[in-house]
């Protein structure tokens, strides 16, 4: 449960975020990383569903996704209604993300046992990472202790942050991310072909 102080801080920061440029914006949860700059690195434990469908423990880092697009989404808690709705959306559209050479990964302060149970109960076939002390969530401006905030980040194959969503509405969010991914890939392909 967020403390009274963190709640009040969030109320103060929210209007201030509107006055800051979009590149260096603040959100409830802290200062967001810069767009078109290197995404904050991370290395976190979590669970990765195996080919047999059973979640297995793993440690994943941003560098593990070099060469692919990455949808990195932060969420408050396993098994809550909004988080379950959001996770189901990403699972439903996972084949579309894969077809676009993009990985999907969720991050919360839940431990590995909770993530394994959540993956199993919802049939999730993408990794869930445990940011128990909120270090990575803070780096992404997505932390109000003791929870990660509902923010999503699109990182390109070179590790550059291309898009971010704050105060995400879980319903339809996966489709929203897919649309931006498609546009971002087209822009990247156009830029690459123009440079050639």
Cα angle, residue 176 at apex, residues 145 and 190 outer, rounded to 5°: 115
CA–chain centroid gap for 12, Å, is 24
Residue closest to 162 by CA, chosen among 190, 138, 182, 145:
182
Quick check: 39 pLDDT over 90? Answer: yes
Instruction: Convert the pLDDT of each residue in 67-122 to its tens digit.
Output: 999 999 999 999 999 999 999 999 999 999 999 999 999 999 999 999 999 999 99
Q: 55-61 and 69-74 as β-strands: parallel, antiparallel, unpaired?
A: unpaired
pTM > 0.85? no
CA–chain centroid gap for 35, Å, is 14
Share of the chain above pLDDT 90, in %: 75
In terms of CATH architecture, what is 28-195?
Answer: 3-Layer(aba) Sandwich (3.40)
Active site residues: 83
Tell me the sheet residues that pair with 44: 60
Break the chain into its structural domains and give their ranges. Answer: 28-195
pLDDT of residue 55: 84
What value does the CA radius of gyration of the chain take, rounded to a whole number of Å? 16
């Amino acid at each position: 449960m967020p403390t009274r102080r963190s709640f009040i801080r969030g109320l103060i920061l929210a209007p201030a975020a509107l006055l800051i440029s979009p590149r260096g914006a603040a959100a409830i949860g802290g200062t967001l990383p810069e767009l078109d700059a290197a995404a904050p690195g991370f290395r976190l434990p979590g669970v990765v569903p195996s080919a047999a469908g059973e979640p297995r423990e793993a440690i994943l880092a941003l560098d593990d996704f070099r060469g692919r697009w990455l949808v990195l989404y932060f969420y408050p808690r396993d098994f809550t209604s909004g988080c379950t709705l959001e996770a189901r959306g990403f699972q439903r559209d996972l084949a579309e993300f894969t077809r676009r050479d993009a990985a999907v990964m969720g991050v919360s302060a839940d431990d590995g046992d909770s993530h394994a149970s959540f993956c199993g109960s919802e049939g999730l076939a993408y990794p869930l990472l445990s940011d128990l002390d909120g270090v990575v969530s803070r780096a992404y401006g997505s932390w109000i202790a003791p929870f990660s905030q509902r923010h999503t980040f699109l990182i390109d194959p070179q590790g550059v942050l291309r898009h971010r969503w704050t105060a995400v509405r879980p319903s339809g969010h996966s489709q929203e991310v897919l649309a931006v991914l498609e546009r971002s890939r087209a822009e990247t392909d156009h830029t690459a072909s123009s440079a050639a």
